[in-house]
Chains A and B, each alone.
Chain A
Amino acid sequence: MTTTSLTKSRGAGHTGDKVFSAATLAAGCLILAVLFGVALFLVVQALPALTAPADQIQGGAGFLSYIWPLVIGTLIAAVIALAIATPVAIGVALFISHYAPRQLAAGLGYVVDLLAAIPSVIYGAWGVAFLAKEISPAYDWLAKYVGWLPIFQGPASATGKTILTAGIVLAVMVLPIITSLTREIFLQTPKLHEEAALALGATRWEMIRMTVLPFGRPGIISAVMLGLGRALGETMAVALVLSSGALTASLIQTGNQTIAAEIALNFPEASGVKVNTLIAAGLVLFVITLGVNMIARWVITRHKEFSGAN
């Protein structure tokens, strides 16, 4: 009968559907569980430090006064890194996607991807053994001529192991991430819109400003956020390059410290409430990263109507 043939289901196909659906559900739940587990661990382990008497925390003035210079140091390093890396990365990505001859573009893209694969300790070693030395004359120059700006106040560090050097190393590290992501996004700009701009009499740069950049805007923000995530959390390179110390406004003196490097340098010898303090610092880093990502999401969705996705 026709009714039975309609109600009868193909057993095998449905089993496959169910298995796949269950597998994706499990994967989705797993990532949430892991995230929740990490957050829970951080909170539980951080609590003793947050509730401990002020004099038991390193520095003897409580957790807040311990953590805020680290937060500022982390943000300074990350902001320097992004301020340098973002324009360069977008420029390189545009060159690869819209300016370079096809063969050069392929080679260049490959080199950029290779850069992303270099371990951070190598960047750290390069930063401390080469960049810090080579760049210290530039710091002297900055201290001499623009030293009236608080951020370039002298005397400059003789070793060059400053937060600015660390920021530059971080910039080099996040550059390939931002470049490859934005390149992929720029390549996805619809031909139709590029041609619309060109047919109106736009030059190549005007075409890029009218179509490629606005179209890629959410993608650029996401790429920068991924770069920021790496810059905030990068440990090894900063630990190697930065000669840490108290919070200072000057970027070319020794001083400042980032949360990640602070944890890495102190954790091996820590005990008791000191361990909890470092984990609490980790929790703060976690919250910063979360906050930054939520802001980025908000910025992207705010312009959804004009995103080109509809």
Chain B
Amino acid sequence: MSKRIDVKDLNVYYGNFLAVEDVNINIDAKSVTAFIGPSGCGKSTFLRTLNRMHEVIPGARVEGEVLLDGDNLYGPGVDPVTVRSQIGMVFQRPNPFPTMSIRDNVLAGVKLNNKKISKGEADVLVERSLQGANLWTEVKDRLGKPGSGLSGGQQQRLCIARAIAVEPQVILMDEPCSALDPISTLAIEDLINELKDQYTVVIVTHNMQQAARVSDKTAFFNIAGTGKPGKLIEFGDTPTIFSNPTEKATEDYVSGRFG
């Protein structure tokens, strides 16, 4: 149930400001792709264009094509709501709905897309999703408690459970571990490894070791200077990017000689 993403000549603008220029990238199904690069290079912005979440930001717009198994997300008549139900997202800071219980958090997306769901089906889905997010054993006795009572790492895994409960084709993760301690980070990284058996995963990270650990392919984004657009510099197999990159800028960045 996972699909591939092909991006063709994508430009992202904030108003008249060109934020990301001319990205072409092919993301394989059932793989983990990491976006790395310095702050402000547009990797998070670009990630958001993959499920049209950039449209939440006033003035943000896109030129070009993003194809999900050949279907253009920006084609005429395509509803962003449908796009987002197929391409889920996990954010930088854990954001379970504070007004909902753990169980309701997991079911939040499902209730939107498929209003009628029996209690039995819901129970099965909650257990499967929480197990899929390696959280079931920790929360199975307190499903009725608020999600905001969990630790940061647990909250983030709850958000992942919420995202996979709707069985998306692709899961986008925007620096999912940057607010977490190393142990919680490890738990999420293990989870990402398991998720790629079923889903296409795209992850933005500032942590290059993390990119090296979890991803099959890595894309390096860079920016020429303040006010210039971000660009995709190099995209390839993760071992190649980290040990033998083609571009000088990539080598400088991954070896820590950047700037």
Nearest Cβ distance between residue B90 and chain A, in whole angstroms?
8
Residues of B within 8 A of A199 (CB): 51, 53, 84, 88-89, 91, 163
A231 to B86, CA, bound (A): 49
A308 to B98, CA, bound (A): 5
- State whether A198 touches B53 (Cβ < 8 A): yes
Would you list 20 pairs from A and B whose C-beta atoms are within 8 A, ordered by A residue? A190-B95, A193-B97, A195-B89, A196-B91, A196-B159, A199-B89, A199-B91, A200-B85, A200-B88, A200-B162, A201-B113, A202-B112, A206-B112, A214-B99, A215-B98, A306-B98, A307-B98, A307-B99, A308-B99, A310-B98
* Contact residue among A190, A192, A201 (Cβ-Cβ distance under 8 Å from B109): A201
Chain A to chain B: the 6 pairs with minimum beta-carbon distance, closest first = A201-B85, A308-B98, A214-B99, A200-B109, A199-B89, A192-B95
- State whether B99 touches A198 (Cβ < 8 A): no
- State whether A201 touches B99 (Cβ < 8 A): no
Residues of A within 8 A of B51 (CB): 199
Nearest Cβ distance between residue A99 and chain B, in whole angstroms?
14
Residues of A within 8 A of B82 (CB): 201
Tell whether A210 pairs with B81 under 8 Å between CB atoms, given A200-B112, A202-B112: no
* Contact residue among B58, B81, B99, B108 (Cβ-Cβ distance under 8 Å from A203): B81
Nearest CB in chain A to that of B109: its residue: A200
Residues of A within 8 A of B96 (CB): 196
Interface centre among B95, B113, B149, B163 (most CB of A within 10 A): B95
Nearest Cβ distance between residue A281 and chain B, in whole angstroms?
41
Any B CB within 8 A of the CB of A197: yes
* Contact residue among A197, A210, A307, A310 (Cβ-Cβ distance under 8 Å from B149): A310
A interface footprint on B70-106 (CB within 8 Å = 1, 0 otherwise): 0000000000011011101101010111111100000
Any A CB within 8 A of the CB of B236: no
A190 to B51, CA, bound (A): 20
Any B CB within 8 A of the CB of A230: no
Any B CB within 8 A of the CB of A269: no
Give the A interface residue count (CB, 8 A).
Answer: 26
Q: A196-B96, A305-B146 are in contact. List 13 more A-B contacts (CB 8 A).
A: A102-B58, A193-B95, A195-B89, A196-B159, A198-B84, A199-B89, A199-B163, A200-B85, A201-B86, A201-B112, A214-B97, A215-B99, A308-B148
How many inter-chain residue pairs (CB < 8 Å) link A and B? Answer: 83
SS of A interface (majority): helix
Residues of A within 8 A of B93 (CB): 192
* Contact residue among B56, B88, B148, B159 (Cβ-Cβ distance under 8 Å from A310): B148
B interface footprint on A176-219 (CB within 8 Å = 1, 0 otherwise): 00000000000000101111111111110010001100110100
A203 to B82, CA, bound (A): 9
A194 to B86, CA, bound (A): 18
- State whether A211 touches B97 (Cβ < 8 A): yes
Any A CB within 8 A of the CB of B166: yes
* Contact residue among A201, A210, A211, A310 (Cβ-Cβ distance under 8 Å from B84): A201
Interface residues of A in 130-146 (CB under 8 A from B): none
Tell whether A200 pairs with B166 under 8 Å between CB atoms, given A210-B108, A306-B99: yes
* Contact residue among B91, B97, B166 (Cβ-Cβ distance under 8 Å from A201): B166
Interface centre among A193, A197, A306, A310 (most CB of B within 10 A): A306
A203 to B100, CA, bound (A): 18
Nearest CB in chain B to that of A190: its residue: B95
Nearest CB in chain B to that of A101: its residue: B58
- State whether B95 touches A196 (Cβ < 8 A): yes
A194 to B88, CA, bound (A): 14
A74 to B18, CA, bound (A): 61
Interface centre among B112, B113, B145, B159 (most CB of A within 10 A): B112
Nearest Cβ distance between residue B156 and chain A, in whole angstroms?
12
Nearest CB in chain A to that of B53: its residue: A199
- State whether A210 touches B146 (Cβ < 8 A): no
Nearest Cβ distance between residue B139 and chain A, in whole angstroms?
16
A215 to B99, CA, bound (A): 7
A201 to B112, CA, bound (A): 7
Nearest Cβ distance between residue B119 and chain A, in whole angstroms?
20
A206 to B166, CA, bound (A): 16
A interface footprint on B209-253 (CB within 8 Å = 1, 0 otherwise): 000000000000000000000000000000000000000000000
